[in-house]
Amino acid sequence: MANCTNCGKKLPILGGVHGLCSECHIASIGNSKVDEEKKQEKAQELATERQEINAILLTTETAPNLNIIERIEIVTAECAFGMNIFRDLFAAVRDVVGGRSEAVQKTMRDARKTALHELKREAWLVGANAVVGVDLDYTEISSSGNMILLVASGTAVRIG
């Protein structure tokens, strides 16, 4: 016989509902509204955080319409991306016959987007609303060429 996944009681021959005994199943129905409210609150918090993280990123130290009030600190974000074996295979074929490798380009694009988002988040965590002097450094971190390390860095600033 199987046991309830929640409390461990033995389930009847028909197995209960979703692996739960009748008592745990009834309790889970009562809690589903509370769980749904918690999920909605969490989603709202994440949406607010994403909106607040939406900092300005510049590769230059300043811009004509940018009024820097305070330079806070240097922020960095590191992302290590691996290409799966199939992408490696197709990239190797492209290396021999020539042409662009969309698989490698997609991996590089994903790495850049992730690193820049993390850089914005790091700036937001220290109270900045912009990052200036952004620099992206790509490095191959394995001899076979299937891992890419991207480091994004810049100066977190508060603009007004």
Spans of all domains in the chain: 1-52, 54-159
Chain segment 58-73, per-residue pLDDT in tens: 888 878 888 899 999 9
pTM of the predicted structure, to 2 decimals: 0.60
Q: Which fold has domain 54-159?
A: Translation Initiation Factor IF3 (3.30.110)
- Name which of 102, 80, 106 is nearest 90 in CA terms: 102
The residue ranges of the chain whose pLDDT is under 70 are: 1, 11-19, 22, 25-35, 45-53, 83-101, 142-145
**Which amino acid is residue 90, in one-letter code?**
F
Interatomic CA distance for residues 152 and 155, integer angstroms: 11
Are 55 and 127 spatial neighbours (Cβ–Cβ below 8 Å)? Answer: no
pLDDT at 111: 87
